[in-house]
Amino acid sequence: MIYLDNAATTPPDPAVLETFNKVYATFWANPHSLHRPGEQAEQLLEQARAQVTELLGGSGYRTLFTSGATESNNLAIKGVVEQYRARGNHLITTNSEHPSVEKVMQWLEGAGCVVTRLPVGPDGAVTPGQVEAALTHQTILVSTMWVNNETGAVNPISAIAGCLSAHQALYHVDGAQGIGKLPFSLAETPVDFLSFSAHKFFGLKGSGALILRERQQLPPQLLGGGQEFGLRSGTADVPRAAACAKALRLSFDGLAPKLANAGVLNDLLRKGLAGLPQIVINSPQTASPYILNGSVSGIKSETILHGLVGEAIYISTASACASKGTEPSPVILALTGDKERARNTIRISLSHLTTREDIEQFLDALARIMNKLG
């Protein structure tokens, strides 16, 4: 099989599964229990928490384990609005966010908030200047993704964090498609909230985190026993936390060469696709090399997808979250302004396990399918 849908999810690294199984078999006690096994489980939980915070360069920050980026995004955005409503009701985001941010924004609009959606430019990103121009004394939160899940477009999160340093507005970044793939440090990019999911970098599904400043208070979305600093009740999942820390550590091993290799494969892919007249590439040159999006004309992208499935090659039509809809992709529409182009897209997403042969075989199969059906 050739798996080119790594932006949807990645397989768990065997070493991550091993950590999970080992920890579950041995340290299954409730980490909030006061007896010895409970204390040992708690120790492991805190070790995992400290490791994640440290790997992300987060001195002065803490890691809150969650079920993943969807939960982290909801917790941060709804939490900030609840906490700081007295300071203002204005939020700034972009017109290309993942549904786990965009739907929250829509919900908040229904609750009386005012949301500014900055339009992305030809590079699929917003600029710090756009953010600055949209700020008002009512703005309490700016939320932008780091790497776009459909196009790979990269927002300048360090510069945006910089331009917010003197403003009351807090900055939330949805890092789901960037963490574990691109270099990152909170020391250089001091955002207020960072969300991610471990399954995007060879960790487990249902596992992720929200990183936030140590003193940051947020009203919880889940009420109960007051676990995770009172921000997320429920018995902590120690094995999953340990597995998350392990996956993050592994993702940082050789991150630069892995990224460089993805760049080489992305170039190969771009060159190959440029040779097919029915395809136009949507991902900007500045995008993360792990994601490449293109629009197809004259043949339905689902037909291509199914043709490839016949050869055990797996790609995606849009993002996995949107691929079941028939509506044009709002992200491609925002980038290209072209409804037809936004209706018929393919997304190829790589990982450090993708090889040159994978790309060559994919291009070969794609050309054959296009010739036969196009």
Nearer to ligand PMP, 174 or 237 (CB): 174
Question: Which residues lie closer than 8 Å to 264 by C-beta, 6 or more apart?
Answer: 356
Tell me: does residue 182 bind ligand PMP (CB under 6 A).
no
Nearer to ligand PMP, 47 or 67 (CB): 67
Beta bridge partners of 194: 173, 211
CB of residue 172 vs ligand PMP: minimum separation in angstroms?
12
Q: How far apart are CA 35 and CA 42, in angstroms?
A: 10
Contact 370, 278 (CB under 8 A): yes
Q: Are strands 2-3 and 313-314 parallel, antiparallel or unpaired?
A: parallel
**Secondary structure of 213-260 in the HEC alphabet?**
ECCCCCCCCCCCCCCHHHCCCCCCCHHHHHHHHHHHHHHHCCHHHHHH
Tell me: does residue 98 bind ligand PMP (CB under 6 A).
yes
Stretch that binds ligand PMP, among 57-65, 117-125, 174-182, 255-263 (CB under 6 A): 174-182
CB of residue 21 vs ligand PMP: minimum separation in angstroms?
21
Q: Report residue 142 CA to chain centroid gap.
A: 17
CB of residue 282 vs ligand PMP: minimum separation in angstroms?
16
Binding mask 198-217 for ligand PMP (x = CB under 6 A): -x------------------
CA distances from 223 to 104, 125, 331, 351 (A): 19, 36, 34, 37
CB of residue 55 vs ligand PMP: minimum separation in angstroms?
19
Stretch that binds ligand PMP, among 52-60, 65-73, 243-251, 358-366 (CB under 6 A): 65-73
Contact 201, 10 (CB under 8 A): yes
CB of residue 270 vs ligand PMP: minimum separation in angstroms?
21
Tell me: does residue 176 bind ligand PMP (CB under 6 A).
yes
| DSSP string for 6-40 | TTT--PPPHHHHHHHHHHHHH--S-TT-SSHHHHH
Tell me: does residue 74 bind ligand PMP (CB under 6 A).
no
Confirm whether 321 is a catalytic residue: yes
Query: Residues 80, 141, 145, 191: which binds ligand PMP (CB under 6 A)?
Result: 145
Nearer to ligand PMP, 41 or 348 (CB): 348
Tell me: does residue 149 bind ligand PMP (CB under 6 A).
yes
Question: Which residues lie closer than 8 Å to 29 by C-beta, 6 or more apart?
Answer: 35, 37, 38, 40, 41
Residues that bind ligand PMP (CB under 6 A): 68-70, 98, 100, 145, 149, 174, 176-177, 197, 199, 319, 321
What is the set of active-site residues?
321
